[in-house]
Structure formats: structure tokens, C-alpha cells
């Protein structure tokens, strides 16, 4: 029985062509996610926390694990 399917078509990307398409696709995804992440970081760097009552902030002593309250 003769095999009539020669493998020629749009989905037969074997060898170097398929490797190049996969590489370009992965690099474009990486570039897109990097640009998106940098955009998110730049948008969030402008939003600072506003401290309203700094006397109520508790410090944790890392050596003993106890809470300390700053009193001036």
C-alpha cells in the first residue's frame, strides 16, 4: 500500500524551520512578559505607603522574637 501523505502542508514544520519558529515564538513571549512586568513595576513605584501614626508601629526583636514599642 502506497503512502500518499507526503508531509507537505502548513503543519509539517520539521527541522530548522520548526526550530526557528519555536525559538522566535518563545523569545517574543519572553520579551512581552518582560515589558509587561517592567510596566507593572513602574506603575507601582509611584504608589507609596502613607504612614499616619508612626508611634503605633511595633518593632520585632529578631534575636529574642519579642515585640518592642518605640517610646520617645
Do the domain assignments include residue 46? yes
Domain tally, the chain: 1
Do the domain assignments include residue 29? yes
Do the domain assignments include residue 3? no
Do the domain assignments include residue 28? yes
Most confident of 11-15, 23-27, 45-49: 23-27
Do the domain assignments include residue 6? no
Most confident of 29-33, 48-52, 56-60: 29-33
Do the domain assignments include residue 54? yes
In degrees rounded to 5, what are phi and psi of residue 3? Answer: -85, 110
pTM of this prediction exceeds 0.75: no
Give, for 18, the enclosing helix (H) or strand (E): helix 15-44
Do the domain assignments include residue 63? yes
- Hunting for cell 504608589 — which residue is that? 47
- Hunting for cell 529578631 — which residue is that? 62
Task: Report the alpha-carbon angle 49-53-58, nearest 5.
Answer: 90
Confidence check: pLDDT of 68 > 80: no
Do the domain assignments include residue 43? yes
Structural domain boundaries enclosing 46: 15-69
How distant, in Å, are the alpha carbons of 36, 53, 69 from that of 66? Answer: 41, 21, 10
Amino acid at each position: 500500500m502506497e503512502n500518499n501523505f507526503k508531509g507537505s502542508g502548513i503543519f509539517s514544520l520539521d527541522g530548522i524551520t520548526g526550530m526557528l519558529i519555536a525559538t522566535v515564538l518563545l523569545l517574543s513571549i519572553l520579551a512581552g512578559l518582560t515589558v509587561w512586568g517592567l510596566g507593572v513595576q513602574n506603575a507601582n513605584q509611584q504608589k507609596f505607603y502613607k504612614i499616619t501614626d508612626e508611634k503605633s508601629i511595633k518593632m520585632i526583636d529578631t534575636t529574642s522574637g519579642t515585640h518592642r514599642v518605640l517610646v520617645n
